[in-house]
């Protein structure tokens, strides 16, 4: 009789233990999927920046000053909103993962902090250069020759920013791969 009741209690706990183990496995898988999704999201941001560098900037450089200013007045606000949303999202990904890794005492923290540092630097580029220059574009402040020169400078800053974004992504990938 004693053996039968012990057997029953083991059977009672077996589904609970199985459920707990499966829940933990699902949590780990979900965490991994979320981490990889965040890397993909960040990669899409970087891809959009590269697209801008290869498609939009050369198009702008091909326009005369009046055509460029007309274009910029018409599409600049939409482009600005689009990239503002993507940039904030791209900044929050490594910052959020850094907080998560800090709280969970993960060895991936140092890589996520490096990713966050480069993310802060690429956002700083906006305030150091792009914000003021973009405002000057709205004001049609440059002559034809000055605009051509400024768009070259703008392109160089943009590629520098892309380099910082690529470094941020690289360390983000290291962090996700290192995740405990």
Please give the pLDDT value at position 155: 98
In a domain, residue 85? The reply is yes
In a domain, residue 122? The reply is yes
**DSSP letter string over 106-143?**
-TTHHHHHHHHHHHHHHHHHIIIIIHHHHHHHHTT-S-
Separation CA 93–CA 124 (nearest Å): 16
pTM: 0.82
> For the chain, how many structural domains are there in total?
1
Percentage of the chain surpassing pLDDT 70? 82
- What is the extent of the structural domain holding 103? 36-178
Better-predicted residue by pLDDT, 90 or 32: 90
Contacts of residue 169, defined as CB under 8 A and 6 or more positions apart, other chains included, come to 39, 42, 43, 46, 115
In a domain, residue 22? The reply is no
User: Above 50 in pLDDT, residue 23?
Assistant: no
**pLDDT tens digits, one per residue of 85-116:** 999 999 999 999 999 999 999 999 999 999 99
């Amino acid at each position: 009789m004693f053996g039968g009741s012990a057997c029953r209690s083991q059977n009672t706990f077996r589904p609970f233990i199985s459920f707990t183990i499966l829940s933990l496995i699902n949590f780990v898988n979900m965490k991994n999927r979320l981490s990889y999704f965040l890397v993909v999201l960040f990669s899409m941001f970087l891809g959009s920046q590269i697209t801008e560098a290869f498609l939009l900037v050369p198009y702008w450089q091909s326009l005369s000053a009046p055509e460029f200013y007309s274009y910029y007045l018409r599409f600049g606000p939409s482009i600005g909103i689009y990239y503002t949303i993507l940039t904030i999202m791209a900044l929050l990904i490594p910052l959020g993962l850094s907080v998560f890794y800090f709280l969970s005492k993960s060895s991936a923290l140092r890589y996520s902090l490096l990713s966050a540092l480069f993310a802060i630097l690429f956002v700083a580029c906006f305030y150091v250069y792009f914000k003021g220059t973009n405002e000057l574009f709205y004001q049609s402040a440059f002559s034809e020759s000055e605009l051509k020169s400024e768009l070259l400078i703008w392109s160089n800053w943009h590629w520098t920013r892309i380099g910082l974004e690529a470094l941020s992504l690289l360390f983000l990938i290291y962090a996700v791969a290192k995740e405990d």
